[in-house]
A and B are shown apart, each in its own frame.
Chain A
Amino acid sequence: MKQSIVLSVNGGEHEVLVRPTETLASVLREKLLLTGTKEACGLGECGACSVLLDGYAVNSCLLLAVDAEGYDIQTIEGLTPEDGLTPLQEAFVEHGAIHCGFCTPGLIVTGTDYLRHSPSHDHEDLMRAIEGNICRCTGYVSVVRAIESATTRMQGNDASTHPTGGI
């Protein structure tokens, strides 16, 4: 039996008809056509489908769409400023942390959560933040370098003044 729910995505309200078994990842991609969120495993093992739920990264393949009602959902489309990229996205480009690009939106979402919420921004915190994101193209070296450089930049000047919330 399908039911009508209202999802708050990237600052807009969307009424969608969903089955109770449908995941948020599937609804975002197939109903709202927000295909920037990728699905690579559907098992919560790789982080490619990460979105921000009230500002914190979650695997949208493990979350039922009906349970996402009432939260503020932000996808890669919502994170990306209309007129350019966030400093974290710029750092990914600059450090060559992007190859096939399939894990990239998930890493940007997870990295954004890390930049905003990590208590210390030390190496162990970063490892803990992204150990759930699998990337097969880079060997993670450039990914770590990119996030570290965005961290340094953020600590140097307050990026939260950026119109889309910074970072």
Chain B
Amino acid sequence: MAIGKPTPVVDARAKVAGRTQYTADLHRPGMLYGKILRSTHHHARILSIDTSAALRIPGVKAVITGLDMPRVKYGFGQRHREDMYALSWDKARFKGDEIAAVAAIDETIAERALEAIVVEYEPLAPIFDFDAALAEDAALLHDDSPGNLAGVLAFHKGDVDAVFADQRAIVVEGTYETQRAHQCYMEPMGCLAEWSSDGRLTMHIGSMNNSGIRWMLAKSLAMPISKVRVVQPNVGGSFGSKVTNAGIYPATAWLSKLSGHPVRIIYTREEEYFASRPRVNNRIWLKTAAGRDGTLLAREVKLLNDVGAYVEMAAAMLEVMSHRSDSLYRIPNIRFDGRMIYTNKSPIGAYRGFGNPQMTFAYEEQLDRIARELGMDPLELRLKNASRQGDVTVHGWELKSCGYPEALEIVRDRSDWVRKREERKLYRGLGVAGTIHEGDDRHSTGFAGSEATLEVFEDGLVSITSGEGEFGQGAHTTFAQIAAEVLTVPLEDVTVRFPDTDISAYALGPWGSRITISGGNAVRFAAEAARNQLLEEAAIMWGARTESVGLSGGRLFVESDPQRSATVAEVANAALYRLNGGIIRTVGKEEPPTTMMNPEIQSNPCSAYSFAAQVAEVTVDPDSGKVTIEGIWTANDCGRVLNPLMADAQVEASVLQGIGFTLSEHMEYRRGHLREAGFLGTGTPNVRDMPPVEVRYTDTYDPYGPYGAKGVAELGQPPIPAVLAAAIEDAVGVRFTELPITPEDIVRAIEKKGATS
């Protein structure tokens, strides 16, 4: 049995020996090293770009600006706003905006070439924050976007005003601010471009959205999509980020085209901070009403998302942020008003939770306040309102499995919540929070499923081809486990190919916790079809009826006559060499039974919904402001756990990223200038920051996911900012509504509290 067994990633032995190849490890004969010239201004008109001196440097093979490339605006995808050029040629919209690109025989010469490019800028008033962007006379980043509005979303369900006006209701409100944070995947973004003699472009990209990036490349380069091939090497982490265009892929392709050489560009870590796609910072205004018995009645949200200079995928994020958390608790009245605001910062991207940690930070604080006003245990308040299996929520989400109440009970019992709350200790605090996450959300009315091809070779080895992508999260391991389970072969006999758009089917990629559910089901269907083919071929081989043939332990046999038995390899070989036979090759196609996400009406956009509850216990040193996390208890409803080894680590890592986001991680801008651009200066956690974390699972079986499974990767992080803020409040009596919560903030708040009390 492969399912449910603790399984290291399938390529662990190669990785631990340093044998796996990531984009930066790829070399080609004659390969050039590319570099990007980035804007030194936050906001400026580009008057001229002189590349002549750079081109004269020996060893420089190509220098390009946006004027050398097709002048096509493009965006994240067909449904998304198109507001950027491959290289900016009219305006620079953030410090780091791509202005020109060079390719040279080594990196040093490429850097010299960058220094030799002369750009004449006319500086414009920069916009760094919401207030400046929304001011009456604000400069505009994009001429076609008045008020620096990149997009809006608003809806109203039920009647929130009636509830808020009701004197019997308890109403709380507040404003919450969150910061930009980098995903800090270890492998920097990059790509290698090469052209073949028939005019086809091949891009090797450590991406997690190969089909989508192929579309973006074709669009920005004005090429037919069939002439673009995206191949995915190993990817060194992503956490959502690498679903987007890094901003340099089209320019790298063009450098390669003009120079006639393969060109590789790898971001420096500094470029990662200045020009990649970090987590969005938000301002969330929230108002919640509950009845005197603690029943949640209404919620109103006004959300501002600082999307930076270009929209990229921010519209999808606004959509998901707008209503996802509404389905964690039963709440009948909802009003939402969200706006995306352009500022002169780098564009934003996806990061584990896709806005969930930020919204949960706000929502759960208000539940704590309501509980306090009612004198209720905050965990009991959550249990009272928790969504349950079978619920159809305020937005029409159908919770076919829901372990949230059980998760709350698990963390209550495991953390000894009741007893610890009774024995109050100075500067020690407890908090509770929960989350819901979508699995496999549908953002289109078209194909939103997954497709996998499976082959059983004549030596019995199984090969899976899926376009879904592996970036270290274990997708290939899950796929191999599923195929091994269906075909009853050893896990080692299954290999999974990396995506290559010439070979693998169109795929949406691993975002929205969709891979296990959607990609896993596609693999399961392909494996089941292969199993049926093997049974048929064995029946032909033996002249038996197909129904009389069985498969177990990697052997096919006639059920009534176990003497007649053969290995998978023997049957696959016989199938290949008989008249009208062939290789065992099957396709599994999954299309989720969901409706397109649309919070303005009712829809059920996800195949499955995952849940988590957490309790945290902290001690705060009032003199230094240092927060010591004594323990975090997590209970996760990811359906059936397919691989406990990987699931545990997914939760642990996600929790630590959440701790970083809550207590230290910060891309801090002062007057628009990014203060630090490295792991240490931005507060990336190391091994000492990992507290004791207990990972438990609810006993849930999802009817749709393969073998009852749902997504697990995005459950650890979302509750952390809320649960730590609650525990810190319990310890020091101050609720922080801005992230991150630093030691300085805590000391200052304790001093202020001491002065006023």
Residues of A at the B interface (CB closer than 8 Å) are 19, 21-22, 26, 29-30, 33, 35-43, 45-46, 48, 75-77, 80, 85, 89, 92-94, 96, 98-105, 108, 127, 130-144
Interface hit among B6-14, B169-177, B547-555? B6-14
**Chain B residues with CB below 8 A from A89, complex form:** 13, 16-17
**Chain A residues with CB below 8 A from B14, complex form:** 101
B269 in contact with A42 (CB, 8 Å): yes
What separation, in Å, do the CA atoms of A45 and B12 have in the docked complex? 24
A77 in contact with B686 (CB, 8 Å): no
Q: Among the listed A19, A93, A102, A139, which residue makes an inter-chain contact with B186, where contact means beta carbons less than 8 Å apart?
A: A102
**Chain B residues with CB below 8 A from A94, complex form:** 8
Distance in angstroms from B53 CB to nearest chain A CB is: 21
A139 in contact with B16 (CB, 8 Å): no
**Chain B residues with CB below 8 A from A142, complex form:** 645, 648-649, 652
What separation, in Å, do the CA atoms of A134 and B679 have in the docked complex? 9
Interface hit among B233-241, B381-389, B425-433, B590-598? B233-241
A93 in contact with B657 (CB, 8 Å): no
Scoring A46, A89, A137, A138 by chain B CB atoms within 10 A of each residue's CB, the highest score goes to A137
Q: Can you name the residue of chain B whose Cβ is closest to the Cβ of A140?
A: B687
Asked if B693 lies at the interface with its beta carbon under 8 angstroms from chain A, I say yes
A144 in contact with B186 (CB, 8 Å): no
**Chain B residues with CB below 8 A from A19, complex form:** 108
Residues of B at the A interface (CB closer than 8 Å) are 6, 8-9, 11-22, 24-25, 27, 106-108, 183-188, 234-237, 239, 268-269, 471-474, 645-646, 648-649, 652-657, 678-680, 684, 686-688, 690, 693
A93 in contact with B679 (CB, 8 Å): no
A138 in contact with B186 (CB, 8 Å): no
Number of A-B contacts (CB under 8 A): 178
B690 in contact with A141 (CB, 8 Å): yes
Closest 4 CB pairs of A and B: A100-B472, A36-B18, A102-B236, A101-B15
Q: Can you name the residue of chain B whose Cβ is closest to the Cβ of A80?
A: B17
What separation, in Å, do the CA atoms of A154 and B174 have in the docked complex? 56
Distance in angstroms from A165 CB to nearest chain B CB is: 15
**Chain B residues with CB below 8 A from A41, complex form:** 269, 678-679
**Chain B residues with CB below 8 A from A76, complex form:** 17-18
A144 in contact with B687 (CB, 8 Å): yes
Q: Is the interface of B mostly helix, strand, loop or mixed?
A: loop
**Chain B residues with CB below 8 A from A35, complex form:** 18, 21, 24-25
B649 in contact with A137 (CB, 8 Å): yes
**Chain A residues with CB below 8 A from B471, complex form:** 100
What separation, in Å, do the CA atoms of A66 and B237 have in the docked complex? 32
Q: Can you name the residue of chain A whose Cβ is closest to the Cβ of B27?
A: A33
B8 in contact with A93 (CB, 8 Å): yes
**Chain A residues with CB below 8 A from B693, complex form:** 139, 141
Q: Can you name the residue of chain A whose Cβ is closest to the Cβ of B655?
A: A139
Q: Can you name the residue of chain A whose Cβ is closest to the Cβ of B659?
A: A139
A139 in contact with B22 (CB, 8 Å): no
**Chain A residues with CB below 8 A from B25, complex form:** 29, 35
A101 in contact with B653 (CB, 8 Å): no
What separation, in Å, do the CA atoms of A63 and B655 have in the docked complex? 34
Q: Among the listed B9, B17, B27, B687, which residue makes an inter-chain contact with A99, where contact means beta carbons less than 8 Å apart?
A: B9
B235 in contact with A100 (CB, 8 Å): yes
B15 in contact with A136 (CB, 8 Å): no
Distance in angstroms from B363 CB to nearest chain A CB is: 25
**Chain A residues with CB below 8 A from B15, complex form:** 98, 101, 104
Distance in angstroms from B451 CB to nearest chain A CB is: 25
B686 in contact with A99 (CB, 8 Å): no
**Chain A residues with CB below 8 A from B19, complex form:** 36
A138 in contact with B108 (CB, 8 Å): no
Distance in angstroms from A65 CB to nearest chain B CB is: 13
A93 in contact with B652 (CB, 8 Å): no
A136 in contact with B690 (CB, 8 Å): no
Q: Among the listed B27, B656, B680, B690, which residue makes an inter-chain contact with A45, where contact means beta carbons less than 8 Å apart?
A: B680
A100 in contact with B690 (CB, 8 Å): no
Q: Can you name the residue of chain B whose Cβ is closest to the Cβ of A93?
A: B12
A100 in contact with B237 (CB, 8 Å): yes
A40 in contact with B269 (CB, 8 Å): yes
Q: Can you name the residue of chain A whose Cβ is closest to the Cβ of B656?
A: A139
**Chain A residues with CB below 8 A from B679, complex form:** 41, 43, 45-46, 134
